[in-house]
């Protein structure tokens, strides 16, 4: 039986942990013997109590949400119904750490019991490999990864996202989905570098009709088939991601690269069934203090490898993506931010000429403006977060509001709404108008 890449990665994790720990134990054995010889003549003494290498915590949570409008494509109005337990545990080795984050929950919308391992990884410095190894840290295993500068807008961050959780009102931590990956970080005078290898492609958890309906150009209405991508249309190759970054004065510059696939099944095979197409991404970002606030800019080129001329209607075209943003504290405890995001589709004329549904294709230059206000009150125990996406080219938008109240460390109450709006039923945000919902949750920490 051939050995899978996942098995190799997990085996590597174990071997690296054993190797690093063996090196540390050998050094500790020598140090301990030397210390014992030095103190042999001092007689008995009381040893201090050692801290446990295992730390653990977690929470239990109840959450519920319901849509504001009836959706004829979805039989139920419930959009969120979770009973969740999360366990967090960290085990400190002498020179590294084993980390675990896992969720067990009942999803009342799907009427199923679900589990998710958000983190199960070894992390440590590679100093046991010698002088050069001390310049590198590694993290191997299941983990949540992120980089880039945008707030809820992703240009170079090609790590998996969970938009069903995001639209339903789950905590923002669940927007970022986990992947089984190996991350190597190097620190040098010239620049720092991160390399991430994901042996098996990990897609986004997008809108597939299980919770919310979406617009179908074939049917010309919203549908909710609860579809899945067939195994033959799932990539079996690895994903590679790269970041090189350095701070010059007060400006942090970063350069990115990605080799993999579109995270959503926007392409189709010859039978019209959804699939994931090849994608390379190259980009850069800059973050710098400016006046009383912080300015940021980011660029990414999404290279549609399978459609270099833009005339294949079964593969999404290449795009240039741009983002500029600024945030600052407006008054005490009130922070505001604004972002301007642009998607420029390459070979747009060829796209329209070859499209099966040209009337539903995106504009050549799609603009989105985001605004955010975050207010903290009652000695930082209450947080109000308002965020709005608005596309002037599509005349649609998406407004999020979330209130979090935590007067003590033991518990937290959340509530808010997700409101989609627009003029045309097929545009990106407007298609989810019937997904608009309100939600509330209670979380107890242990």
Q: In this predicted model, what pLDDT tens digit does every residue of 288-330 receive, in sequence order?
A: 999 999 999 999 999 999 998 999 999 999 999 999 999 999 9
* Lowest-confidence segment of 174-178, 266-270, 285-289 by average pLDDT: 266-270
CB atoms inside a 10 Å sphere around CB 253: 15
- Reported as a pLDDT band with limits 50, 70 and 90, residue 164 is very high
Please state the rounded mean pLDDT for residues 124-132: 94
pLDDT, tens digit, 9 for 90 and up, residues 170-199: 999 999 999 999 999 999 999 999 999 999
| 316 phi, psi to nearest 5 deg | -65, 145
In this prediction, residues 282-289 reach a mean pLDDT of 98
Question: What is the pLDDT, as a whole number, of residue 39?
Answer: 40
Q: What is the mean pLDDT of residues 98-124?
A: 97
**Model pLDDT, residue 7:** 43
* Average pLDDT, integer, range 320-346: 98
Which of 126-149 are b and which e, b meaning 16 or more Cβ less than 10 Å from the residue's Cβ?
bbbeeeeeeebbbbbbbbbbebbb
> What is the mean pLDDT of the segment spanning 155-179?
97
346 close to 310: Cβ distance less than 8 angstroms: yes
pLDDT at 441 over 50: yes
Whether the pLDDT of residue 54 is over 60: the answer is: yes
What pLDDT does residue 75 have?
Answer: 86
pLDDT of residue 359: 96
The predicted model gives 69-76 an average pLDDT of 92
- Band (46; pLDDT cuts 50, 70, 90): low
Name, in order, each residue with C-beta under 8 angstroms of 100's C-beta and a sequence gap of 6 or more: 87, 88, 89, 90, 117, 119, 120
Q: Where are the domains of the chain?
A: 5-36+63-293+301-322+341-361
pLDDT at 444: 98
pLDDT at 23: 43
3-class DSSP state for residue 185?
strand
User: What is the per-residue pLDDT across 210-254, written as a single tens digit (0 to 9) for each?
Assistant: 999 999 998 999 999 878 899 999 999 999 999 999 999 999 999
pTM: 0.87
Residue 7 or 232, more confident: 232
Q: What is the mean pLDDT of residues 76-104?
A: 97
Give the mean pLDDT of 333-354.
98
- For position 190, what pLDDT does the model report? 97
Q: Burial-class residue 123 by CB neighbours within 10 Å (0-12, 13-18, 19+).
A: buried
- State residue 40's pLDDT score: 43
Dist CA 114 CA 107 (whole Å): 7
- pLDDT above 90 covers a percentage of the chain that reads 86
Cα 310 to Cα 219, 288, 307, 407, distances in angstroms: 24, 36, 5, 55
Whole-angstrom Cα distance, residue 81 to residue 437? Answer: 12
Does position 209 have pLDDT exceeding 80, yes or no? yes
Spatial CB neighbours of 270, under 8 Å, sequence gap ≥ 6:
314
Pick the more confident residue, 27 or 238. Answer: 238
Reply yes or no on whether the pLDDT at 27 is more than 60. Answer: no
Contact 346, 366 (CB under 8 A): no
Q: Residue 26: its pLDDT value, please?
A: 42
Please state the φ and ψ torsions of residue 384, each to the nearest 5 degrees. Answer: -115, 125
pLDDT(16) > 80: no
Contact 74, 226 (CB under 8 A): no
Cβ contact 108:81 at 8 Å: yes
**410: closest CA among 169, 173, 58, 100?**
58
Flag whether pLDDT at 32 surpasses 60.
no
Mean pLDDT to the nearest integer, 379-405 = 98
In which band, very low, low, confident or very high, does the pLDDT at 45 lie, cut at 50, 70 and 90?
low
Could you tell me how far CA 144 lies from the centroid of its own chain?
Answer: 7
Per-residue pLDDT band at 364 (split at 50, 70, 90): very high
Show Cβ contacts of residue 140 under 8 Å, excluding neighbours closer than 6 positions: 9, 12, 13, 16, 121, 122, 123, 182, 183
For residue 441, CA distances in Å to 110, 210, 385, 403, 413 come to: 18, 21, 16, 10, 6
CA–CA separation, 351 vs 255, rounded Å?
Answer: 29
d(CA 243, CA 428): 29
Tokens of 331: 């008054």
At 266, list the tokens: 């926007």
Tell me which residue of 345, 335, 428, 352 sits closest to 390, measured CA to CA.
Answer: 428
Question: Beta-carbon neighbour count of residue 417 at 10 Å?
Answer: 16
Closest CA to 100 of 135, 33, 55: 55
The pLDDT value recorded for residue 398 is: 98
Instruction: Find out whether 288 and 251 touch, Cβ atoms under 8 Å.
Output: yes
CB 336 within 8 A of CB 192: no
Strand (E) or helix (H) holding 342 = strand 334-345
């Amino acid at each position: 039986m051939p050995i899978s890449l996942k098995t190799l990665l997990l085996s590597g994790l174990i071997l690296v942990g054993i190797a690093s720990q063996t090196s540390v134990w050998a050094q500790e054995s020598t140090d301990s013997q030397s210390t014992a010889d030095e103190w042999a003549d001092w007689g008995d003494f009381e040893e201090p109590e050692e801290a446990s290498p295992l730390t653990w915590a977690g929470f239990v949570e109840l959450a519920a949400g319901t849509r504001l409008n009836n959706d004829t494509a979805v039989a139920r109005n419930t959009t969120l119904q979770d009973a969740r337990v999360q366990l967090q545990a960290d085990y400190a080795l002498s020179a590294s750490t084993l980390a675990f984050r896992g969720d067990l929950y009942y999803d009342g919308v799907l009427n199923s019991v679900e589990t998710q391992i958000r983190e199960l990884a070894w992390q440590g410095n590679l100093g046991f490999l010698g002088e050069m190894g001390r310049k590198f840290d590694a993290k191997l295993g299941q983990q949540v990864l992120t980089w880039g500068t945008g707030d809820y807008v992703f240009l170079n961050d090609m790590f998996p996202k969970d938009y069903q959780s995001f639209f339903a009102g789950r905590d923002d931590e669940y927007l970022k989905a986990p992947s089984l990956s190996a991350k190597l970080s190097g620190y040098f005078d010239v620049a720092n570098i991160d390399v991430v290898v994901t042996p098996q492609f990990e897609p986004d958890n997008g809108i597939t009709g299980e919770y919310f309906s979406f617009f179908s150009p074939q049917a010309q209405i919203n549908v909710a088939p609860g579809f899945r991508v067939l195994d033959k249309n799932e990539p079996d190759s690895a994903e590679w991601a790269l970041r090189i970054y350095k701070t010059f004065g007060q400006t942090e510059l970063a350069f990115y690269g990605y080799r993999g696939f579109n995270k959503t099944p926007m392409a189709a095979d010859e039978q019209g069934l959804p699939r994931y197409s090849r994608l390379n991404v190259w980009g850069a970002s800059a973050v710098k203090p400016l006046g009383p606030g912080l300015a940021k800019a980011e660029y990414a080129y999404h290279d549609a490898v399978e459609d270099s001329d833009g005339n294949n209607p079964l593969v999404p075209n290449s795009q240039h993506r741009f983002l500029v943003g600024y945030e600052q504290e407006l008054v005490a405890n009130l922070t505001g931010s604004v972002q301007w995001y642009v998607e420029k589709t390459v070979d747009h004329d060829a796209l329209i000429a070859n499209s099966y549904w040209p009337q539903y294709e995106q504009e050549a230059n799609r603009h989105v403006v985001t605004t955010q206000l975050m207010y903290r009150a009652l000695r930082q125990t209450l947080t109000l977060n308002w965020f709005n996406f608005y596309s002037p080219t599509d005349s649609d938008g998406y407004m999020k509001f979330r209130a979090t109240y935590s007067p003590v460390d033991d518990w937290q109450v959340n509530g808010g709404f997700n409101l989609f709006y627009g003029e045309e039923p097929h545009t990106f945000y407007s298609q989810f108008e019937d997904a608009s919902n309100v939600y509330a949750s209670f979380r107890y920490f242990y």
